[in-house]
Homo-oligomer: A and B are copies of this chain.
Amino acid sequence: MKIALLGHGTVGSGVYELIMKNRPRFKEIYGKELNVERIMVNHPENYKHLPYYELFSNNFEDFKELSFDVAIESIGGIEPAFQYVSYFLSKGIPVITSNKDLIAEKGNLLTALALKNNTSIRYEASVGGGIPILKTLEENLAGDQILEIAGIVNGTTNYILTKMNNESLSYNTALLMAQNLGFAETDPTSDVEGLDSVRKIAILTKLGLNIDVDWKSIPVEGITQIDAEDIVFFNQELLNIKLIGITKVIRDGFYCSVRPVLVSKSSKFASIDNEFNAVRVHGEAVGELMFIGKGAGQMATATSVLGDLVDLMLNTKIRVSKKLENRSLVKLFPDKSNWIVKLAGVSSNDINEEHVSVSEETHFMKLTDINEENLIDKLNKLSSQLNCDYKYYLIYE
């Protein structure tokens, strides 16, 4: 199989390494020889030290003159990845990508383009790194009706929250720690504001729930507003805070969000520590399934790319095009649930509700068995009556 490799950063170089490592074994098992024929990078001159330096090019015209059996894209971002991927698909060449931005933004378009050209685009590595969740949804669970997917799908924020939960660190200290260890980028916005997570939950909504959604329409709340004093209280209540993407079918539409939620310390989600990701799927027939693994990292992500490549070696099956449903997106948690509410700037004497005061002006209450819409109504009344601020967290399990 002649391979075009687009990108040679963390993921791309990991993919190259795994391909080289598996070549003899794959040839024996699948009877196919993997050959990386050309590698696209911005600065080929940076790779002069590599024995396969002659494969590098920064000119896409060099790719058009060769024939390929598959293109692997790990450049990241929308352009020029979109342009390159479109080219290959339009020529009927299957594409494997690890690029969640591209899939979240242009996935529908690219899937349609692949189908039109009798080929396929695969992107297992774009969600959950090494966790095999997309193919599982598409194939293993094809006979089931998926009702809900919830996941910790960003390792950076999960690392930060783990430190905050376990060591009562402030957000800023935990972020610094994550940056020093390479788990967070210098500009962590995309991770900590939930923008990375929301793209992934959009992909899971399309593939698992078969519902079309624009990731930009999904309500998203990051982790920057979580106070250390909140965590102290959560710990007393045996709750951990996690950034969780939730997408679920409801009667008249679907609910989808990324938000910090509270989970019981004995729950499965609470045990997902540090850079690990976890995706929980609830199917009508299969019940609850959970998939845990490293959500990022060079070799974990490269393994998912190789999985897609193995599928291509095993067969030339064409991804089927399921028409995505249009359903209205509900932005408030629709089910009755329990909540932790924080009131700030009010004396405890003025509060009639049962509450725990952690300082003269800061008080926590637990409100039970109420949906988010009614909760907000109630809190709006309370805050205007008491002239105070509030903040609240969903207790998710």
Give chain A's interface residues, CB within 8 Å of chain B: 14, 18, 22, 26, 29-30, 124, 130-132, 135-136, 139-144, 266-268, 270-272, 276, 283-294, 297, 299-300, 302-307, 309-311, 314-317, 320, 322
Contacts and interface: CB of A to CB of B under 8 A. Distances in A.
Contact of A320 (B29, B288, B289, B311): B29
22 contacts: A22-B142, A124-B140, A135-B140, A139-B307, A139-B311, A140-B310, A141-B307, A142-B306, A143-B302, A144-B303, A271-B271, A285-B300, A286-B293, A286-B299, A286-B303, A287-B297, A287-B300, A288-B293, A288-B294, A289-B293, A291-B291, A314-B315
Contacts of A30: 320
A135 B142 CA distance: 14
A136 B142 contact: no
Nearest to A288: B293
A310 B300 CA distance: 27
A303 B285 CA distance: 7
Given A285-B303, A315-B315, 20 more contacts: A18-B144, A29-B320, A130-B285, A132-B136, A132-B289, A135-B139, A136-B136, A139-B311, A140-B303, A268-B268, A268-B271, A271-B271, A286-B303, A287-B294, A288-B292, A291-B291, A291-B292, A314-B317, A315-B316, A317-B317
Given A267-B271, A271-B268, A317-B317, A141 B288 contact: no
Contact of A306 (B29, B135, B144): B144
Contact of A299 (B287, B293, B302): B287
A342 to B, nearest CB: 27
Contacts of A288: 276, 292-294
A283 B303 contact: yes
Identical copies of this chain, number: 2
A309 to B, nearest CB: 7
A18 B293 contact: no
Given A143-B306, A144-B303, A292 B290 contact: yes
Contacts of A304: 140, 286
A284 B286 CA distance: 30
Contacts of A268: 268, 271-272, 292
A292 to B, nearest CB: 4
A315 B132 CA distance: 20
A307 B140 CA distance: 4
Contacts of A135: 139-140
A143 B286 contact: no
A126 to B, nearest CB: 14
Nearest to A300: B286
Nearest to A31: B320
Contacts of A141: 132, 303, 307
A185 B212 CA distance: 45
B300 A18 contact: no
A136 B18 CA distance: 18
Contacts of A302: 143, 285
A135 B135 CA distance: 10
A132 B143 CA distance: 13
Best-surrounded residue of A30, A272, A284, A307 (most CB of chain B within 10 A): A307
Contacts of A315: 314-317
Best-surrounded residue of A18, A143, A293, A311 (most CB of chain B within 10 A): A143
Given A268-B292, A293-B286, A300-B285, A307 B124 contact: no
A22 to B, nearest CB: 5
A296 to B, nearest CB: 11
A162 B300 CA distance: 32
A266 B18 CA distance: 34
Contacts of A271: 266-268, 270-271
